[in-house]
Amino acid sequence: MRVLVTGSTGFIGRTVCRSLRDAGLQLRVALRDEARAATVLDIERAIVGDLSAQTDWSSALTGIDAVVHLAGIAHMLGTPAAEALEPCTRVNVDATLTLARAAVKAGVHRFVMMSSAKVHGETNAAHPWREADAPDPKDPYARSKWQAELGLRLIEKGSGLQVVVLRPPLVYGPEVKANFLRLLATVARGWPMPLGAIRNRRSLVYVGNLADAVLACLRHPSAAGRTYLVSDGDDVSTPELLRRVGTALGRPVRLIPVPVAVLRAAATLLGRGSDFDRLTGNFAVDSSAIRAELGWQPPYSMQQALSATAAWYRGLTPSAKKENGGDARR
C-alpha cells in the first residue's frame, strides 16, 4: 500500500510515519516547502505549498492508494474566536476537502482524517462520549473539524473514496508540547498543588497508540465509512493523572484537597475560569467501537506510555524545558 501522509513533521505525524513504515507501507509525505525536508530525508516527499482551497495535490497523489490527513491548524489558545475562525476554516476545512476531491480524482481508495473528540464539546457529565452522540463543538477549531467531517461524508457519497475519521482526546507522548508539557514541568518541580479534591474523568491517548489505530483504519475493511473515538481506555481523574506522571518522573506529588468551588472562584477572579473548567471537568470518550469492529487494542498501557514520555522529558535540556513547558529545575 502506498500512502500519502500530511502533517508528517508534527508531533503526531512523526510517530505515525514511523509506525506505518515499520509496518511495511510505502510512504510519501506532503510538505509545505523544502525547508521541512530535512526532517524526512529518508521518505519520498512532495512539496505542495500552503494549505488552502487552492492547494494543488495532483503530483502528491500520483500512484497513491490511501491518504492519512494529519495536517491542520491546532488549538489556538488565547486567540480570539474571531481571529481563529479564518485560519481554521482555510486549513482544516477548505484544504481538507480540496485534498479529498483530488484524492477521488486520483483514484485513492481510503482517506483517514484526524479529527478531534472536541467536536462533541468541552465537558460531558452523563456518560463518556460515543460516536452517535450529537456533536456540540464550542470553538473555531472544533467547529472546523466538524465541518470537515461533514464535507468529507458528502464527497464520499457516490465516489470510490472510503473515508475513516478518528476523534482522539488529548494526545501525549515524547515530543509533546503545550498543556501536557506544562503538566510534566509542574510535576517535576515537586511543588504542592491544590487539586486533591477534584473528582473527574478524563480520557487520553498515547501517540504510539493513536498511530497504531491509524494503521488499523488503513488496513481493516470494516473501517470504511466509519468514525471512531480512540483512547488508551484507561480514564483517570486529574489527581490520578498527576500521581501517575509523578511516578513516571520519580517525583513525589503533593495534592492539597482545596474545595473545587473555592478553586473555581479564584480562577474566575483571575480570568481563567474556562481553563479551570477544562482541568477539572469530565472529558471522557468510549473507544469500544474501534475495538469491537476492528479488533484494535492499544499496544501500550498508560504506564508504559507515561514512562516513555517521562524518559524523553528527563532528556530535555534545562533551556528546552523552560522554553516549552517551564523550568523544571528546583
- Grid look-up 528546552 returns 320
Contact 153, 100 (CB under 8 A): no
Rounded Cα distance between 236 and 282, Å, is 10
What DSSP designation does 134 have?
P
Q: Collect all residues with Cβ–Cβ distance below 8 Å to 171 and sequence separation of at least 6.
A: 11, 12, 204, 205, 206, 207, 210
**One-letter amino acid for residue 3 of the chain:** V
Establish whether 141 is a catalytic residue: yes
Q: 290-295 long-range CB contacts below 8 Å, 24 or more apart?
A: 290/213, 290/216, 290/228, 290/229, 290/230, 291/233, 293/220, 293/222, 293/223, 293/226, 293/228, 294/216, 294/217, 294/220, 294/222, 294/223, 294/228, 295/216, 295/220
Grid cell locating 161: 473514496
**One-letter amino acid for residue 309 of the chain:** T
Q: Which residue is catalytic, options 141, 172, 206, 228?
A: 141
Label residue 190 left, alpha or beta by phi (over 0 means left) and psi (-120 to 50 means alpha): left
**One-letter amino acid for residue 324 of the chain:** N
DSSP string, 236-292: B-HHHHHHHHHHHHT----B----HHHHHHHHHHTT-HHHHHHHHS-B-B--HHHHH
Q: How many CB atoms lie within 10 A of CB 80?
A: 9
Rounded Cα distance between 14 and 281, Å, is 30
Contact 131, 288 (CB under 8 A): no
What DSSP designation does 314 have?
H
Catalytic residue annotation: 141
